[in-house]
Amino acid sequence: MFDQLQQIINEFLLDGEARGHSVLTTRAYRTAFRAFTDWLSERQVDRINQLTPALLREYAVHCSATLSPGGAHARLRPVKTLLKWAHQEELVAHDLTRRLPMPKLSREPLPAVRFGDFQKLLGAARVKSRSPLRDVALLTVLYDTGVRASEALALRLEDIRPEGFLLVRQGKGGKSRSVPMERATLKAIRAYIHQERHEDPGSPVLFLAGDQPLTRGALDKLLERLSTFAGLPRLSAHTFRRGFAVQYLRNGGDVFTLQRIFGHSSLEMSNRYAQLMDDDVKVVHRRASPLRSRPQ
């Protein structure tokens, strides 16, 4: 009978891969499911029809007690997605996700690269980097387009469009999209390609370390090194994505266009990045308040 929890998990992961889940997403799911099934095995639970609302609440309490709110949320979210999928596939009669409470996350703004930080990192790259033109181009792409680190590292030479777009192939969820960029970004990319990048390294990937594509690990180390040299707290690649979103909205962009640029399937996902500070909200209010409307 198709009720073994591990078998259902395997089917869910295969379905996710078929729908274009990235390697990192699949890995995060596997980690969360392993923790869940290990906890269940201690209670001699291995079939999905053994899951009860009380058991799920107990697991949620366990995660909240042993992990940070963010860690607990990351551990429970894949389980919730799995249970919802199982209900949609008619593997369980009831939607158990309503019985799985999620921890409340802090509403404090998450770290984001500010324009001043970006300028300091560019200065550090020009002075400290072994490949300064590559690193300036990479930093500029991350900050000007808001693409994910994996998407930036997967860019190929042919994806740089002279009309001012990046073609992101196989973004999250297996979807491709065009992302606009400023002329300064295109100029930085061209300077790297023509003056520093090997002409025929045997790889069509844009950002290289020697003759090989730059890896995520190398990018993380690069950002750590540049942050230290610039006197900044350690900035991850994802802080550029948040920084783009915040600055984009400050400069008059709207969340609907941000959704398209980011390749999000829902507006809710884009809203997570729209973390404007109180002063930003005040400026927008001053500009858009109905009291500033002129009599018709």
**Whats the size of the chain, residue-wise?**
296
- Mean pLDDT in residue range 73-90: 89
DSSP β-bridge partners for residue 167: 178
Report whether pLDDT(84) > 50: yes
Report whether pLDDT(120) > 50: yes
- Mean pLDDT in residue range 47-68: 90
The number of beta carbons lying within 10 Å of the beta carbon of residue 83 is: 24
Distance CA 239, CA 148 (A): 10
pLDDT at 1: 46
pLDDT at 92: 81
pLDDT at 70: 81
pLDDT at 282: 53
Summary mean pLDDT of the chain: 84
Distance CA 241, CA 139 (A): 11
DSSP β-bridge partners for residue 166: 160, 179
Q: How confident is the model at residue 136 (pLDDT cuts 50, 70, 90)?
A: very high
pLDDT at 73: 86
Q: Please tell me if the domain spanning 5-99 has the same topology as the one spanning 115-276.
A: no
pLDDT at 261: 78
Report whether pLDDT(251) > 70: yes
Report whether pLDDT(94) > 60: yes
Instruction: Write the single-letter amino acid at 25.
Output: T
pLDDT at 241: 87
Region for 227 from its dihedrals, namely left if φ exceeds 0, alpha if ψ lies in -120 to 50, beta otherwise = alpha
Q: How confident is the model at residue 138 (pLDDT cuts 50, 70, 90)?
A: very high
The CATH code for residues 115-276 is 1.10.443.10
In SS3 terms, the chain reads as CCCEHHHHHHHHHHHHHHCCCCHHHHHHHHHHHHHHHHHHHCCCCCEHHHCCHHHHHHHHHHHHHHCCHHHHHHHHHHHHHHHHHHHHCCCCCCCHHHHCCCCCCCCCCCCCCCHHHHHHHHHHHHHHCCCHHHHHHHHHHHHHHCCCHHHHHCCEHHHEECCCEEEECCCHHHCCEEEECCHHHHHHHHHHHHHCCCCCCCCCECCEECCEECCHHHHHHHHHHHHHHCCCCCCCHHHHHHHHHHHHHHCCCCHHHHHHHHCCCCHHHHHCCCCCCHHHHHHHHHHHCHHHCCCC
CB 51 within 8 A of CB 45: yes
Report whether pLDDT(275) > 60: no
Distance CA 59, CA 24 (A): 24
CB 239 within 8 A of CB 111: yes
pLDDT at 196: 93
Question: Among residues of the chain, what percentage have pLDDT more than 90?
Answer: 46
Closest CA relative to residue 60, chosen from 25, 93, 101, 96: 101
More confident residue, 251 or 205: 205
CB 203 within 8 A of CB 102: no
pLDDT at 262: 77
- Mean pLDDT in residue range 282-292: 53
Distances (CA, A) of 100 to 48, 54, 208: 14, 9, 45
Domain boundaries of the chain, sorted by first residue: 5-99, 115-276
CATH topology of domain 5-99: DNA polymerase; domain 1 (1.10.150)
Half-sphere exposure of 92 (CA within 13 A, CB side): 19
pLDDT at 10: 93
- Mean pLDDT in residue range 214-236: 94
pLDDT at 215: 94
Report whether pLDDT(279) > 60: no
Tell me: the pLDDT tens digits for 152-209?
999 999 999 999 989 988 656 567 888 889 999 999 999 999 999 977 767 899 999 9
